[in-house]
Structure 1
Amino acid sequence: MKSSPYRWKDESAARFAQQHDAVLAVGRSQARPGEVSLSPATVREARDVRRLVLPSPNGSTIAQSMAGVAGEVIGVSLRNATAAAAWTAARLRSDKACGVAVVAAGEQWSNGALRPAVEDLWGAGAYLSALRRHGFDALSPEAQSAVAAFAHVSGDIARQLHAAASGRELAADGYRQDVDVAAEIDRSEVVPVLVERSFRAAALVASDRNSDT
């Protein structure tokens, strides 16, 4: 599946999805049976969806913003942290001059103010911890803090995610399964790479590049 991050769910998002023959994900509370929403559980259950537009004011907005200023942008979570670190380590070995910036996306309050999300800090820590195992341990103090935060909860991640503010909120709204999905550490080996305006699996991106040479 190819997924496209989009800043906001508005008329422009609907037009973008239509132009790219994609399904536009709806809000969790707006989803009807069988519809794909921002709930990971609905994405997992989706069938025959090849392209998906995911609008959000946090992760999608950050990905779109970084696409114009960063070298390569990848999507990382607790579910693919080890695979993403291995992919990054390989890139770092082939290009000694490049560096890595890790952004823990967080969320936004309804007034637009930043809402820090501890689960995103843990995700960053999981990725950085795996990167250190590949020998890349020149971490900033901020990165070291993320590693320490993840180490503190890594043996109890599912319970900690459910106990965190975001987990409690999702469970109260009927989306406990989304927290369970988030807690599946290293269940996925897919590394999403942002190519133009869409995330594609790193293996597919590499295949495309090889076919061009």
Structure 2
Amino acid sequence: MANPHAQEPWSARFDWGPVGAETLAGASDLVAVVDVLSFTTALTVAVDRGIEVFPFRWRDERAERFAQDRDAVLAVGRSAARPGRISLSAGTIRAAGPVRRLVLPSPNGSTIAQDVAATGTTLIGVSLRNATAAAEWTRNRLAAVRGASVSVIAAGERWPDGSLRPAVEDLWGAGAYLAALDAQGFGSFSPEAFSAAAAHRAVAGDLPARLRASASGRELVDGGFADDVEIAAEVDASIAVPLLREESFTAA
């Protein structure tokens, strides 16, 4: 019997976290990963600057050697960043001097990107900053593919015990992309994808304020990273579509 969690035969699908990505990626023509606070926001800021971005697993001791072998800068966690050092904070990427290559670990979006890459499925990074541009690119990319399907993965966050915490900002980011696909007449939507698009439409008129008021937004603001929330709320400010080619993201 077909796996109902694969959301076939719908053209647009939606799920959460690494397990959702594993379930949907193999049966999809394209996967869009969404991690608004903060991997895919940081990714779009980097690609806007022409930086090649290598996703990497969080707290993997091989990261430093990986970066050295690719002549790349290794981003650190926000709390570990000294002045002038690039971190997962999008503001540090925007403020940095010339950088050609960046290794960008994160516990959620970056790790999912590596997992999906291993399946050979086409992968793009989507945030609130580039949702419409990413939807337009997706439509053009898949226009000639009969029965084409897109799976959107909201990365979510982690509770202290390591379990998945569905994060509303990723629901909105995924919904923004799906709503843009819907506006362009892209195929049929699974109930899960339809609901994500509806969630975005419900807050679209007041999204920056909603983002600041969300649990993840308040956590960053309270931690001294309010700029990251403001950058994440730059709705459709970017036309860059980060596409994973082999082991790194560059502009599609």
**TM-score of Structure 1 vs Structure 2, range by shorter chain:** over 0.9
**CA drift at 1:70:** 4.7
Q: Whole-Å Cα distance in 2 between the matches of residues 95 and 10 of structure 1?
A: 37
- Structure 2: give runs of 5+ residues left out of the alignment: 1-50
Please give the secondary structure, in 2, of the residue aligned with 1:75. strand
Q: Which amino acid aligns with 1:32?
A: R
Matched residue SS, 2:67: helix
* Structure with the higher fraction of residues in helix conformation: 1
Could you report, residue by residue, the CA deviation over 1:157-205 in whole angstroms, capped at 9, with x for unpaired residues? 1100010000000000000110000000000000000111111110xxx
Say whether 1:57 aligns with 2:125. Answer: no
1:99 aligns with 2:138: no
Which of these residues, 174, 180, 183, is aligned with residue 133 of structure 1? Answer: 183
1:22 corresponds to: 72
Q: Which amino acid aligns with 1:151?
A: R
Unaligned runs of 5+ in 1: 203-213
1:109 to 159, 165, 184: 159
Query: Which of the numbers 185, 194, 213 marks the counterpart of 1:144?
Result: 194
Residue 6 of structure 1 corresponds to which residue in structure 2? 56
1:197 corresponds to: 247
Aligned-pair distance for 1:36? 0.2
Q: Distance in 2 between the 1:150 and 1:187 partners?
A: 17
- CA RMSD across the alignment: 1.0
2-structure distance, mates of 1:163, 1:116: 16
The aligned amino acid for 2:145 is D
CA distance in 2, matches of 1:13, 1:174: 26
Q: CA deviation at 1:137?
A: 4.3
Aligned partner (choices 135, 138, 146) of residue 85 of structure 1: 135
State which drifts further: 184-193 or 87-96: 87-96
Q: Which of 213, 225, 228 does residue 163 from structure 1 map onto? A: 213
- In the aligned structure 1, how far is the partner of 2:151 from the partner of 2:59? 27
After superposing the two structures, state which structure 1 stretch, 9-18 or 27-36, moved more: 9-18
- Deviation string 1:85-138 (CA, Å, 9 cap, x unpaired) is 001001121212331110011112232110111000000000001111111141
Q: Does 1:68 align with 2:103?
A: no
Q: 2:225 aligns with which of 171, 175, 183?
A: 175
What is the TM-score when the length of structure 1 is the normalising length?
0.92
Q: 2:20 corresponds to which residue?
A: none
Cα distance in structure 1, aligned partners of 2:83 and 2:233: 24
Query: What do the CA deviations read for 1:131-162 (whole angstroms, capped 9, x no partner)?
Result: 11111141000001101110111000110001
CA distance in 2 between partners of 1:136 and 1:55 (Å): 32
Q: CA deviation at 1:78?
A: 0.4
**Structure 1 residues 7 and 48, CA, compared in 2 at 3 Å: closer, same or farther?**
same
1:32 aligns with 2:82: yes
Shift of 1:57: 1.6
1:68 is displaced (CA, Å) by: 1.8
Figure out how many residues of one structure are paired with residues of the other and give that number.
202
- Deviating beyond 4 angstroms after TM superposition, the runs of 4 or more aligned structure 1 residues are none
2:249 aligned counterpart, secondary structure:
strand
**Sequence identity, in percent?**
61
- Quote the offset at 1:8 in angstroms: 2.0
Deviations 1:4-31 (A, max 9, x none): 1101233200010010000000110111
Return the alpha-carbon distance in structure 1 between the equivalents of residues 71 and 83 of structure 2. Answer: 21
